[in-house]
Structure 1
Amino acid sequence: MKKIRGIKLDPPKILVLGFSSVILLGSILLMLPVATVDGNGLRGIDALFTATSATCVTGLVVVDTGSTFTTFGEIVILTLIQVGGLGFMSFATLVAFILGKKISLKERLILQESLNHLTVEGIVRMVRRILIFTALIETTGAVLLSYRFSFDMPLGKAIYNGFFHSISNFNNAGFDLMGDFRSLTGYVDDPIVSLTVSGLIFLGGIGFIVMNELYEYRTTRKLSLHSKLVLSVTGCLITIGTVMIFFLEYHNPKTLEPLSMTGKVLGSLYQAITPRTAGSNTLNIADLTQSTLLLTIILMFIGASPGSTGGGIKTSTFAVLLGAVKAQIKGKEDVAFFGRRVLPQTIYKSLTVTLSAIFLVLAVTMLLTITEPGKDFLAILFESTSAFATVGLSMGITPDLSTAGKILITFTMFAGRVGPLTVAFAVTLRRQQDPYRYPAGKIMIG
């Protein structure tokens, strides 16, 4: 590994530096006069916030995307979303493929870290498939959305909007061009838009590893424990979320009550899927009941799956924690799923990731209560969780954040995308294993 002034550039550090470089470049481009409609460019803090939100595929915005940016600015944002969603190393690998360059072992190790893959074996082949999957899924989504949008706007604009929203939602970014911060609320009961975007969010959120195994299933006829766990937990979260939102919002005159039964179902389904870190919404978030908002916070915190375009602690982490609780309640020594035992290291990592995430969200929430006096606590907690999980949903306080608040949310989005552990490892100069072990002791729990 290379060293810069004594700092070892291992994969986690390279990922942090890579994302930081992309964000910095995006910020500079968004500050250019050509990037905004008024010809002034974005202020430095707003450009940094927007570039971070796009690169970390979050979707929180301090200015309305559709009315603030020129086509140049929108393309910059879309490019940041695509690079951030695929991971800058996957994007760099695409360039290497085009130029006919070979992928070195060091680059393979970075790809392994970037995709959260268990081994380096077959990693280049997987990246190649990821690029193909991404192109096919985004194009299919763009065609469907363009067709629907063509009834509401000129064909050229419909195609442009179709591709923008397809790329944005497959990468779980949530940026939109509808204007006035309204996202996709105008299509709450439209089956084409709701189901197409929901499908894009779902596919982007299950992870490329799972997509690859589903593709190979026709020949292998088997799925790994990881894929089984991700698909089952994802299905349960979407089903439970849809049913709960349907009943919690059924009589809410500002959300589901005025809609037809089809609209109620579509609205509930979409609102259950989008906290998987997508960020677009068909129901006005600020109008949801407090119980639905709390449910949404929980779904956002869990987030998507490893190796995906989404954030959160991840579905597999949540499943391992539930499995550990279940094993303790039943007095079992092992945590097992689908006839397979989970290694103790995996349980420890799940606990570490979850506690790190809880600490980060609570710390940011507490700081925001100081920097944003007068704002509703639930709205602040919602904003912090959304930023950590790179979701992009908001109760409407993002544009009104102070400079200090914007900096806090910017850091939280960055930490949520590259991962709290990756950030911790990246800023640690040395990691050493203890040369000895202490004698065991007993502690009373509960």
Structure 2
Amino acid sequence: MKFFTKRLTQTQMIVIGYCLIIFIGAGLLMLPVSTRTGVSTPAVDALFTSTSAACVTGLVIADTFQYWSTFGQCVILAIIQIGGLGFMTIGVFFAIILRRKIGLWTRGTLQESVNIMQVGGIVRLAKKIMVGTLFFEGLGALILAFRFSETMSLGKAVYFGVFHAVSAFCNAGFDLMGEHGAYSSFTPYYNDWVVNLVIMSLIIIGGIGFFVWNDISANKLSFKKYRLHTKIVLISTFILVFGGAALLFFFEQNHTIEGMPFGDKVLCSLFGSVTARTAGFNTVDTAALTDSSKLLTSILMFIGGSPGSTAGGIKTTTFVVLLIYVNANLRKEAHCNIMGRRLDDGSIRKASAVLCINLFSVILAVLIIITVQPVPVMDAAFEVISAIGTVGMSTGITRDLVTVSKIVLIFLMYCGRIGSMTFALSLRGHKTEPPIKVPTEQIMIG
């Protein structure tokens, strides 16, 4: 550990840690025992699947149920759990169980990993994360297993319940519904309120962030006592989920959900809005969505979940901060204010950087993919945003991508999980900026 603390920054440790998880997972998935046919999986495909699982994305080169054996599925599930919670969180939790001393450097790395604002109380938070995860995943698995047992054997129902509860809570998007048809996801359960509500609840709980958990746990239902971060996350999540559902209902009422009872239309619209927030499941054919719905879904995927969660995207807080900043400029206000608080300049700069890095990455990736193979621009953009947002929704082109395109998506999924800013900062090392201010000069903008 002393070797790492002297030579690596905390962000570099996170970057390297996820790399190790991905390559170990890829190695296991390349084994013949990991596939149903007993044939070794090509390295690029194994790496793609391992990255998708570790980065809780859900993009797949083959149907998870039909291609991977039970061993391969368990490997994917383990990678999802480690990637969703973060290897530092799990490591610190086991250190607590073994009564090992947790140093300041480890605490700082854990803080960076879960994206929490202060180091104080980080170990207690790690305990809450693990206990809360086991509780929510366990409860979700129990309800799903009970529902699945109506059409499956008890053992299979329990296995399916556990797999989908973990995948949903971690916003991973992997499913075993391929027995109903390859890449069918939850379309056979499009009108099942129990399955839909459980999956949606797990996605939202996993996607609001561990800091929000801690705040709600401390202040119960007293909204006024919540930190500004928690208030922004809860309000923005509510608006994006129900606003997105209303628009999807409007766009799809005469298309993918046409002919359904009103209640089923509402359920499908809600599920589509929630799953676009980096989960990746679907109850209607994604490829059959209207262009309006695909664009809306792309926006929701790009925004993603909230900081310090199992979700990806630029995050809800980044989106809200940028909206407030634009509004303040239009009103020619000196500061960015919200809910009786003023946002600090550092948050605004970071939000701007995150938006620009992700936007430039999406544009460059789309250009590469449509250059190396004949893919419609809309489908390529949808796939790229799904990858960098760690969502996993696809119009069906993933399995047809060439090696170069797969490598591009692997890189995007990786950056989307650890954070584009984290990856960029890891390249700096221990360098610090000299305390020198150069002369100021104005330029014309707009």
TM-score of the superposed pair, with normalisation by structure 2: 0.97
Q: For 2:100, what is the secondary structure of its paired residue? A: coil
Deviations 1:223-278 (CA, angstroms, capped at 9, x unpaired): 100000111111111111010000100011xx111211111000000000111100
Matched, 1:206 2:208: yes
User: Runs (4+) of structure 1 moved beyond 6 Å?
Assistant: none
- Report the Cα distance in structure 1 between the residues aligned to 2:18 and 2:225, rounded to whole angstroms: 35
The 5-angstrom pairing of residues 6-405 of structure 1 reads 8-179=7-178, 180-218=182-220, 222-252=225-255, 255-372=256-373, 374-405=374-405
- The CA distance in 1 between the partners of 2:158 and 2:3, in whole Å, is 47
Matched position secondary structure for 2:439: coil
Q: Deviations over 1:323-377 (max 9, x none)?
A: 00111111111111110000011101100011000011111111111122x2111
Provide the rounded CA distance (Å) in 2 between the counterparts of 1:439 and 1:107. 39
Q: CA offsets per residue over residues 80-115 of structure 1, 9 Å max, x none?
A: 000000001011112212322121111101000001
* Contact kept? 1:2, 1:9, Cα under 8 Å: no
Whole-Å Cα distance in 2 between the matches of residues 377 and 419 of structure 1? 25
Deviation at 1:20, TM superposition (A): 0.3
Whether the 8 Å CA contact 1:310–1:390 is kept in 2: the answer is yes
C-alpha separation between the residues in 1 aligned to 2:221 and 2:277? 30
Secondary structure at the counterpart of residue 444 of structure 1: coil
Cα shift at 1:124: 0.3
SS of 1:126's partner is helix
Q: Indicate the larger mover: 282-291 or 420-429.
A: 420-429
Deviation at 1:216, TM superposition (A): 1.2
Q: Report the Cα offset of residue 419 of structure 1.
A: 1.0
Q: Displacement of 1:7 after TM fit?
A: 8.3
Letter in 2 for 1:285: T
Distance 1:219 1:286 in 2: 40
C-alpha distance in 2, partners of 1:350/1:23? Answer: 28
Q: CA deviation at 1:430?
A: 4.5
Say which SS state the counterpart of residue 259 (structure 2) adopts.
Answer: coil
Which residue type is aligned with residue 311 of structure 1?
Answer: G
Distance 1:95 1:40 in 2: 36
SS across alignment from 1:438: coil
Cα distance, 1:206 vs. partner? 0.3
Q: How far apart in 2 are the matches of 1:316 and 1:288? A: 28
Q: Hey, what's the Cα distance between the residues in 1 that align with 2:286 and 2:6?
A: 44
- Map 1:420-435 to 2 at 5 A: 420-435=420-435
Q: 1:439: Cα distance to partner?
A: 2.5
Give the aligned partner of residue 415 of structure 1: 415
The code of the aligned residue for 1:246 comes to: F
- Structure 2, unaligned stretches of length 5 or more? none
Q: Are the counterparts in 2 of residues 189 and 259 from structure 1 also a CA contact under 8 Å?
A: no
Distance 2:390 2:6 in 1: 29
Identity of aligned residues (%): 45
Letter in 1 for 2:83: G
CA distance in 2, matches of 1:429, 1:81: 28
**Superposition deviation, residue 279 in structure 1:** 0.7
Q: How many residues are paired up?
A: 442
Q: Once structures 1 and 2 are overlaid, which stretch shifts more, 432-441 or 313-322?
A: 432-441
What is the CA–CA distance in structure 2 between the aligned matches of 1:45 and 1:216, rounded to whole Å? 45
Deviations 1:405-441 (A, max 9, x none): 1111111100111111111121223432133212222
How far off its partner does 1:34 sit? Answer: 1.1
Instruction: Return the alpha-carbon distance in structure 2 between the equivalents of residues 13 and 430 of structure 1.
Output: 10
TM-score, normalization: structure 1? 0.97
Give distance in 2, aligned partners of 1:445 and 1:206.
36
Cα distance change of structure 1 residues 248 and 131 upon mapping to structure 2, 3 Å threshold: same
Residues in 2 aligned to 1:81 and 1:406: alpha-carbon distance in whole angstroms: 19
CA distances 1:15-50 after superposition (whole Å, capped 9, x unpaired): 000000001110010011111111113111111000
> Aligned partners of 2:220 and 2:49: how far apart in 1?
42
SS of 1:406's partner is helix
Decide whether the 8 Å contact of 1:174 with 1:279 is kept in 2.
yes
The C-alpha deviation readout for 1:359-398, integer Å capped at 9, x for no partner, is: 11111111111122x2111000000000000000000000
Q: Deviation string for 1:194-225 (max 9, x for gaps)?
A: 11100000001100110111111139871100
CA distance in 2, matches of 1:328, 1:370: 38
Q: 1:231 is aligned with what amino acid?
A: L
Task: Tell whether the 8 Å contact from 1:7 to 1:429 is kept in structure 2 after alignment.
Answer: no
The answer on whether the counterparts of 1:58 and 1:391 sit within 8 Å (CA) in structure 2 is yes
RMSD in angstroms over aligned alpha carbons? Answer: 1.5
Contact conserved, 2:388 with 2:416, CA < 8 A, in 1?
A: yes
The answer as to whether partners of 1:387 and 1:409 remain within 8 angstroms in 2 is yes
Residues 12 and 429 in structure 2, CA contact (< 8 A), matched pair in contact too:
no
Structure 1 unmatched ranges of 5 or more: none
CA distance in 2, matches of 1:15, 1:427: 12
